Structure 1
Amino acid sequence: MIRDDIKAAQVAAMKAGDKTTRAAVGLIQAAIKNRDIEARTSGAPADDDALVVEVLQKMVKQRRESIAMYEQGGRQELADAERAEVEVIERFLPRQMDEAETTAAIEAIKAELGASGMKDMGRVMAELKARHGPQLDMSKASGLVKAALA
């Protein structure tokens, strides 16, 4: 499980004296704990790895947005710190599908569902997320689905 990998990484970072990794892993664990608390109040928790991947993807997205803002503001040292956190977080994410694999998955789903136009985008996106959610950046996939259905 991804949680076990994260705990092992924190122990390894502490033993190695790697402050950057230890701090980033601490942030990951805090975000996961917050998500666990939300899941407790909202009903039955989903697949644990899926929940953790969702949290990690959200963290990466937030940091990429921060990097862009820091670079626009001329704060390169803060952007570099965010980049270092992104590298640590991405260690725990499953391998992401590239554009060709994503396009192939979209075409397969489109054929299975008989999707022909933009009115079917919601169905295609839902099925894509159900099958390949952890391996996809859904914001990028959205653009590819629009192009495939246009």
Structure 2
Amino acid sequence: MTLKDQITEDMKNAMRAHDSERLGTIRLLLAACKQKEVDERIVLDDAAVIAIVDKLIKQRNDSVTAFTQAKRMDLADKEAAEIKVLQAYLPQRLSLEEVTAAVQAIVAQLGATGPGDMGKVMGAVKAQLAGKADMGQVSTAVKAALAG
């Protein structure tokens, strides 16, 4: 069963359980997937669905920050609840130590030496760790590896 099929099943289960908050978040995710398929005329694989989930979580995190600064805790709590629903569709994330080790291995493999190689390293790291790690952590680890 693909990740998209699992999300569709979860939507049906949320409908049956009359769980409107979960249902709304899942529908939003499926709409984003469908939009990507229509725009690019492709069928999404699991990696592409994970990338969409990552993007939606990042948007929600940005919203939580903005709502918290504006002292709108009701809206921040709603966004945080959506994040919890979306995180269920992500694979197990790598720890900071695992990310750092993987980045250092790729830097050594590519023979990268300084900040000028950042793009080359990020391209290789993104291909290897996409969906498995938070890209913010990855970027920090790459900067640290290239600086030292």
Contact kept, 8 Å, 2:92 with 2:132, in 1: the verdict is yes
Q: SS at 2:84's partner residue?
A: helix
Q: SS at 1:119's partner residue?
A: helix
Residue in structure 2 matched with residue 73 of structure 1 by the alignment = 70
From 92, 95, 100, the equivalent of 1:95 is 92
Measure, in 2, the Cα distance between the counterparts of 1:36 and 1:136: 24
Alpha-carbon deviation of 1:139? 2.4
Q: 1:27 to 1:11 in 2, by over 3 A?
A: same
Unpaired segments ≥5 residues, structure 2: none
Q: SS at 1:135's partner residue?
A: coil
Measure, in 2, the Cα distance between the counterparts of 1:35 and 1:88: 20
Measure, in 1, the Cα distance between the counterparts of 2:127 and 2:39: 21
Greater Cα offset, 91-100 or 57-66? 91-100
Normalising by structure 1, we get a TM-score of 0.93
Alpha-carbon deviation of 1:47? 6.0
Q: Superposition RMSD on alpha carbons, in Å?
A: 1.3
Amino acid at match of 2:97: A
Identity %: 40
Residue in structure 2 matched with residue 55 of structure 1 by the alignment = 52
> Does 2:122 correspond to 1:128?
no
Normalising by structure 2, we get a TM-score of 0.94
Give every structure 1 segment of 4 or more consecutive aligned residues whose post-TM-superposition deviation is greater than 2 Å. Answer: none
